[in-house]
Structure 1
Amino acid sequence: MRSSLAYILAAVTLTIARPGETSARAPKTNPWAQITPADTAAVWDLLHSPAAGLNLTDPPFTASQTDNYVAFIDTLHTNKSAVLPYIDGNGLQPAKFARAVIFEGGRTVPISQEYMIGPLPVSNRTRIQKLDYIFNGGKGGTVPFNARFFDLQRDAASEPLLASVMTEVADITTELFGGVYYGADDDRTDLIYTFDTPVSTDGSSAVRIVMFRYPTEVEFLQPLDFYVILDIPGTDPSKYTLRGIVTNEKFFSTVDKFRQAYDAGEITNPYPQPRDYEWAQLTRKEEMGTRPLENKLAPQSIELGGKRYKIDTQQNYVEYLGWSFYMSWTRQLGLMFFDVKFKGERIIYELSMQEATAQYAGNTPKAASTVYHDTHYGFGAQSAVLVEGFDCPFGATLLNASYPDGRHTTIKPQAICIFEADYGFPLARHRTSSFGPFQGYGFSDLGVVKASALHVRHIATVGNYDYLFDFAFNVDGSLEVGVRASGYLQASPYYKTQGRFGPRVHNSTQGSYHDHVVTFKADFDVLGTKNSFQVTELKTVKQSQPWFPELGEFDQMELQASNLKREKQLNFAENGQAMYTVISERTNAWGEKRGYRITPGHSNIHLTSPNSPFSRKQSEFSKSHLAVTRVHDTEPYANSWQNINLPEAPQHDFAKFFNDESVEDEDITVWFNLGMHHFTRSEDIPVTLFTEASSSILFAPQNFFDRAQEGDLQNRRWIETGEDQDELNFEAYGVPLANCAINLREPVTNILPWEDLIV
């Protein structure tokens, strides 16, 4: 039964996990669809064929860092210039391509190299070519060995040196922490370790900063005050050396110097880390007591009237109350949206998450130097199973996602949910003023309109954090993008002297302050590809008016609108005194240029430290609220997934997008950042809460229509007072209140296994 189920799931990439949803029919075959499982297997076989000449080790897990092997295969999205003639006209459907990352450790000068393989499906027309055109760092898809992803093979190469150092000090670590590390495969080992990124600055060398922890479910909250720093350049482990040991806020360049300090009584452990970890688990804590009535099921959002959206599951296409869009999925970026339209008119060509940057602060080796780019680990590959009724409402449409995994395809069950939800407030409401005989008695007419939105949501668990991505398509034509973070802090050992980097959150644990900056791409096509970026500023000016001669000149507000002339990174105005709008030259009935404005929501931030040596050039996209660039097929992504280890010599340099090109009446992309400055606190234990760690932005019509998009909604009420003062007349517009019996059920776990499926 499981194999037949896997075969069914392999037929499409996003599949509804529950029956009963209404089907739609996409107007065109999805040109952004990810490659199929059959294509993945065929690409894998082609790369490993003798004719390819790549000399690959298969399977990769048997390889060493001096071998050539495939790191992963993913979808290479079709260029916009090839898609538009097809999606908007009668052009041919563009060919599909895969991308493959190959770690070529067997070269004289070892590298990582990206390739493009296509057209697909594999035939005698299919070619393997270097994927260089989407990278602007000067070396195309090539990454130096020292800067490449630190995988199991590189880990194994540096393991002997780390084990040797830790074995030499095993008696000291036993006394300090009650633990030892003799190597990952040694049964006596009862400590684990983590290390930071970046491990290199420009690819010429590599440094590994190792921090030790207890091997528990909550290791991120149990850091030990012990760091080993290794220099590990190149592929020859005989050249790897110890740079030093750090503990007690002191650096020791050799094991002997460290031991001398310990023997002299200079090394202590004043705040021992407890090995128990129940305090840090996300479980109910009996010692906290019980809240009255909390044994009852919490309120739920239910689609009482049935589903008001339609899905074409073969094409991953959705329709909802005027909205339509296609979806896609990649290993590195996760969920992406294309051809987003409202009432048949395109607003956005592409909306996608591009990167999630996290930068830490501290006076310990790991905290001080850590910068993460989480696409480095893969948002699509790290997606999480959604729990019905908790991650998403009961009755939500649950979708599976898939990504290439070696020669096979891994299915992520219930990775995406779609649901319509009440917004908790009316879309519009007004009670008209009373006139005539009832003036002053409160009798009047009242109109109120229901607010709801279609949500598309997924969660990715990358290391210690769960990122919740929520895209809300509102009935008024606005679109809200939100991101929330929950999970374990990457904590540091507690020091009395380091409160400026974060508070003490447990006996020997300090919450390390850090930034989360999540970068998105919005390729706006407001009524076509010719758009401008208008900035409307609210200015205070001196004015005089002849009907107020006694005032002379006085302060007055006025709007000053101008279009951005050239590509630029910019920040939101202080006090919110500016409006940012992507406009078309086409006008509405009143002669106003039609557009969509970009409204900051909660916690729109950028990186605090723009000149850190660990994020100097490879994180430029995270250093402003907004950026506006001209669209080019050569600039599809803000970042390269391997960029994190190249802060001084990025493979892909976002700063080079800004080459003084015009963005007036051009095809433009707006890159925007959401996130939070994470001022850590005791309430981050056991995990950070979604309520506070949140950020959002809203795209809303700005003269796009001739009037508000509420007049055609039937979910509303009009209430009039009758001739009798006590009489009220209701107009329901054909939408009565629902009478229903609700049977909430537990998730049906025998339909889909909760672990990943591989087909």
Structure 2
Amino acid sequence: MASWRLLGLSISAAVILCSLAYLLLLSASTSGPIRQPPFYSSASSKHPHRHFQAPAENPWTELDEAEASQVYIWLHENTNIFNSTGARGSSPLNLIELLRPNKSSVVDYLDHNGPIPDRWARLSVVETKDDDAFIVEYMVGPLPPSNETQILPLTYCHNSGRNYVQSPISDVFALLEWALSIGEDASDVTLDLLGAKTNRHDPDDPNGLVMGSRPALIDSGRMVHWLEFFGPGMKSDGRSLLPQGLYVKLNLPSASPETWTTGEWFYNGILYDNVTMLRGAMASPGFERLTVNEDGAWTDTEDFTASTPERDMPPPVSIQPYGPRYRLDRSENYLSWMGFSFYFSTSQATALSLFDIRYNNSRIIYQLGLQEALAHYAGVEPMQSGLHFLDTFFGMGKMMFSLVPGLDCPGHAEYMDMSYHRGGKMYTNRNAICVFEYTSDAPLQRHTSAFSATVSRNTYLVVRSVSTVGNYDYTIDYIFYLDGSVEVKLRASGYIFGAFHAEPRSSTSFSFPPLPQRDSSANEYGYRVHPALHTSMHDHVVNFRADFDICGTANTVVRTSIEPLQRTYHWDRPEVPGLRNTMHMVHRPVTHETGLDWPKNSGEMYLITAPNDTNKWGETRAYRILPGTGMGNPARLTIVNSTALGASAPWSSSDLWILRNHPSTEPGSAHHLNALEPLSPLVDFAKMVADREVVEKEDLVVYFNLGGHHVPSSQDIPNTLMHTSASSVVFMPFNYFDEDVSKAVRQGVRVDRRPKKENIVVAAGGVGAELDGEAAKEEVRRSSNRAARSGPTEKSKEDDGVSWFGARYTTPVLVSEAMLSPDLSHYMKERDDGEQGGWKTVRNNVGGGLYGLFVGKEREGGRGHQRDGDDGGRLDW
């Protein structure tokens, strides 16, 4: 799976840009009030708990439009922030959002009736000095603005001691114009080699080439870029499948455009000093021209022509005929279900997080949420060889786009919006979060004994969002189970970031099997999947934070290993005269901050324990952390000491990390601006573990990674499928309760269908049944089948051999058409009227930002709304 960041600006002559571009250009769009979608389930209006209220005001709730506007006005009246404008007149104020309160203040408020924590805003501001540009962070509060409100440098949460990063450029438009001119000046070369050229003057040219980039260096305000031509045009969804194998190097030694130069050109494995040298080589008789990678039906994700008889019938669907069983306070973003309760909140960089997760009013996890999403590539050519993405830079919260009802989530799901404030305006991504209860295709529990069978439904709650970052859609689920377990699951789908396959035109009338590879190193990095396309191996490592509070904050992580053992037992002789080969458990506490990897053969259990708390059997109460469902264990980064990453993501080197919690100085493992200063990041995770503090009986935080090693194959064309790219981590109660708490909330049936004469009490230690075990089991199966065929009739209700536990459907059910076939006119309307969060999200948001900004003058932005203030490119990721 790829995380390509192509920016969907349909300028046929588009060229890529650098990281700061998105920060220097202001978002400008029309936004309206948060409204209920027209397809909203009618069941919610009949919700038996529609007056449900959270026990306390949500201290993590994001700034609303009124609060953000108050901050904006206060800054105008009390600071000089707006005196210097951004690039060509844009506002220097890039971000306003909530500065989340400290844990100690929140716990005092929620647990001890203390005052609600003060609300503060965090700001991201572009400031220029001479030709240099800096992105500076401030904190403003307390809110609402008053005589006590102040603005301070935001440094306490950055272990770099700084509140700024340096941008490699000061004028994004100058870079755009210069980069676009490179393609124009080389149009003779691109027409000859690629059969197309860039076209800056016609944004809708379907044959225009674009360019994508990889920064080879970002250090102290200077950059080196490698650009590659892609084509044709900006209207294809499959842009990342269309590399053309022509590359040019850009040198930006300073922020001043006067110092920028074009470097080498690369084609067919040969490095040319400049484009003049390339032109000279093209005129020579022995010059090889490579196959052009052409778009076509092969990049379409749908086939509207082929079909099978089965496809012409609609598939099964999930319904909730009597309405939702969870209780939701929308005003406070608070949810309760089957003993669980929690608050949730969003941020522009890290998307959705859950807070104060409790079971039966006892806190299990204080915070659970995304920290950073890394994708790191390898390859044999300039683009792929060091390509990497840190996706929070682009704003995984801002890109929580509208979910499609009935497809992204079941038809009975409820939806919530995500709103954020940038540059003085409020934006709303409607229906960006869905909540639903679902029943698995497998039971929670079952057992067939000699004279009975019992089966329970496995029903769980899901809170889901999807962040579309470039050509990839990341689905993140927070899942809650009846036994008290919590699962965090990541799925991905979308277009891979393909590599150009260098095959000369003279020998490629493409056929199956493909012609032999010319480059013996090609299969080191991927596989050929089209005449001029290779896949690119890459790692996805997506980092999450789990701040555990198991029976309070005095926690210890214990590694319980399952090891082979040789031991003698006196009762074993004479049958076993020597050592018995067996196994046992060995318990080792983690004493200091460290990183852990998933054990081989699942030979260890990682338990986060409450050493001072035991269940009624005297066992230490704990939660176990283990890999969950998906394609194998979640992965850590394969590359050791990545040249490209520098110090920006050291958390990717282990599967999970055990740290002593310092929420007031270390609120996260990463910062969304780390991508701009990878050698000296604002938050350096390595410093957080360098002291190796004691972690026994302490307030602990666990950082864990999801993702996988992805080596795409032909089955990833055109799109990677979610079931092949999923991973998860589960937090499972382990001696935390006195018994399985799901017993009290299960729903299912127990069948006892013995013949009357067999209805004999079984004495302890003996069998009181006349039927043997196999015959009894067969009778149970037959009677269960008869009951299933006849349904829960009055006769079966009177039969005391069938015991239902939990509610059943006993009255006719009417399923609304909207639940079976959702109304999508809401999305189409957004496309037409310019509202945000619409259907064209995926269509035009195919990249952008730090490493892959495709630039131009498209008037229609990636979220389906008009970009009234952007006349130089869609750069506001």
In the aligned structure 2, how far is the partner of 1:526 from the partner of 1:197? 44
Structure 1: how far apart are the matches of 2:245 and 2:34? 50
Q: SS state of the match for residue 571, structure 2?
A: coil
Aligned partners of 1:309 and 1:397: how far apart in 2? 11
Is 1:361–1:514's contact at 8 Å kept on the other side of the alignment? Answer: yes
2:210 aligns with 192
Q: Which of residues 241, 245, 248 is equivalent to 1:225?
A: 245
Pairing 1:705–2:737 present: yes
Structure 2 residue aligned with 1:28: 56
Secondary structure of residue in 1 paired with 2:551:
coil
Give, in angstroms, the shift of residue 145 of structure 1: 2.3
Deviation at 1:292, TM superposition (A): 2.7
Cα deviation, residue 79, structure 1 = 1.3
List aligned pairs for 1:41-440, cutoff 5 A: 41-49=69-77, 51-57=78-84, 62-63=88-89, 69-107=92-130, 110-138=133-161, 140-146=162-168, 154-181=171-198, 183=200, 190-197=208-215, 199-200=217-218, 202-214=219-231, 215=233, 216-217=235-236, 218-265=238-285, 267-274=287-294, 276-286=295-305, 289-432=306-449, 434=450
Q: CA 1:186–1:401 in 2, change beyond 3 Å: closer, same or farther?
A: closer
Deviation at 1:204, TM superposition (A): 4.7
TM-score, normalised via structure 2 length: 0.79
> Secondary structure of the equivalent of 1:454?
strand
What are the equivalent positions in structure 2 for 1:505-524 lying under 5 Å apart?
505-524=529-548
Q: Aligned partners of 1:679, 1:285: CA distance in 2, in Å?
A: 29
Q: Distance in 1 between matches of 2:55 and 2:577?
A: 62
CA distance in 2, matches of 1:360, 1:73: 33
| 8 Å Cα contact 1:544-1:554 kept in structure 2 | yes
In structure 2, the CA distance between the partners of 1:196 and 1:545, relative to structure 1 (3 Å rule), is: same
Identity of aligned residues (%): 32
- Structure 1 segments (4+ residues) deviating >6 Å: 14-18, 184-189, 725-728
Matched, 1:628 2:654: no
Change in 2 beyond 3 A, CA 1:714/1:110: closer
Gaps of 5+ in 1: 435-443
CA distance in 2, matches of 1:522, 1:307: 28
What is the rounded CA distance, in whole Å, between the counterparts of 1:4 and 1:360 in structure 2?
37
Counterpart code for 1:259: R
C-alpha contact 2:355 2:368 (8 A) present in aligned 1 = yes
How far, CA to CA, are the matches of 1:352 and 1:4 in structure 2?
A: 30
Amino acid in structure 2 at the alignment position of 1:730: V
Pair 118,9 (structure 1): closer, same or farther in 2 beyond 3 Å: farther
Distance verdict in 2 for CA 1:265–1:475, change over 3 Å = farther
Check the 8 A contact 1:203/1:646 in 2, yes or no. Answer: yes
- 595-604 or 576-585: bigger deviation: 595-604
Q: Give CA deviations for 1:193-223 in whole Å, capped at 9, x if unaligned.
A: 12225650x3252112212111232211111
Offset, 1:257? 2.1
**Pairing partner for 2:815 from 730, 736, 742:** 742
- 1:180: how far off? 1.9
Post-superposition offset of 1:321 = 0.7
Structure 1's 736 and 69: CA in aligned 2 closer, same or farther, altered over 3 A? closer
Amino acid aligned to 1:408? K
Query: Alpha-carbon deviation of 1:482?
Result: 0.5
Q: 1:223 to 1:579 in 2, by over 3 A?
A: same
Instruction: Write the deviation string for residues 478-522 of structure 1: whole angstroms up to 9, x where unpaired.
Output: 111100010011111113422221111222111111111111100
After superposition, where does 1:713-724 map in structure 2 within 5 Å? Answer: 713-724=745-756
Question: Displacement of 1:471 after TM fit?
Answer: 1.1
Distance 2:579 2:806 in 1: 56
Where 1:691 maps in the other structure, the secondary structure is helix
| CA distance in structure 2 between the partners assigned to 1:208 and 1:582 by the alignment | 45
Deviation at 1:55, TM superposition (A): 4.3
C-alpha distance in structure 2 between counterparts of 1:520 and 1:364, whole Å: 32
Is 1:756 aligned with 2:799?
no
Whole-angstrom distance in 1 between the partners of 2:151 and 2:476: 35
Given that 1:714 and 1:735 are in contact with CA atoms closer than 8 Å, whether structure 2 keeps it comes out as no
Structure 2 residue aligned with 1:606, among 613, 621, 636? 636
Q: Tell which deviates more after alignment, 117-126 or 220-229.
A: 117-126
Alignment of 1:650-669 (within 5 A): 650-658=681-689, 659-669=691-701
Q: C-alpha separation between the residues in 2 aligned to 1:376 and 1:160? A: 23
Cα distance, 1:290 vs structure 2: 1.9
Q: Which residue of 1 aligns with 2:550?
A: 526
Is 1:571 aligned with 2:578?
no
1:470 deviation in Å?
0.9
Conserved? CA contact 1:212–1:227, under 8 Å:
yes
- Alpha carbons of structure 1 residues 248 and 751: separation in structure 2 relative to 1, 3 Å: closer
Q: Matches of 1:747 and 1:340 in 2, distance apart?
A: 32
Q: Does the aligned pair in 1 maintain the 2:159–2:684 contact within 8 Å?
A: yes
Distance in 2, matches of 1:109 and 1:57, equals 13
Structure 1 pair 17/46, CA: closer, same or farther in 2 (3 Å)?
Answer: farther
- State the one-letter code of the partner of 1:86: Y
- Work out which structure has the larger RCO, using CA pairs closer than 8 Å and 6 or more positions apart in sequence: 2
Structure 2: how far apart are the matches of 1:92 and 1:234?
A: 49
Letter in 2 for 1:458: S
Aligned-residue offset at 1:454: 0.5
Maintained 8 Å contact 2:131/2:255? no
For residues 256-282 of structure 1, what are the alpha-carbon distances to aligned partners after superposition, in whole Å with 9 as ceiling and x for unaligned?
Answer: 2222222224653322121x4332122
Whole-angstrom CA distance in 2 between matches of 1:4 and 1:331? 18
Do the aligned partners of 1:533 and 1:581 also contact (CA within 8 Å) in 2? yes
1:6 aligned to 2:32?
yes
* Alignment-mate amino acid for residue 608 of structure 1: T
2:45 is aligned with 1:38:
no
Is 2:565 aligned against 1:541?
Answer: yes
Kindly tell me: are residues 737 and 682 of structure 1, through their superposed partners in 2, closer, same or farther at Cα, counting changes over 3 Å? same
In structure 2, stretches of 5+ residues that fail to align are 1-28, 503-516, 759-778, 785-800, 838-864, 867-877
RMSD: 2.6
CA positional deviation for 1:648: 2.3
Match of residue 646 from structure 2? 616
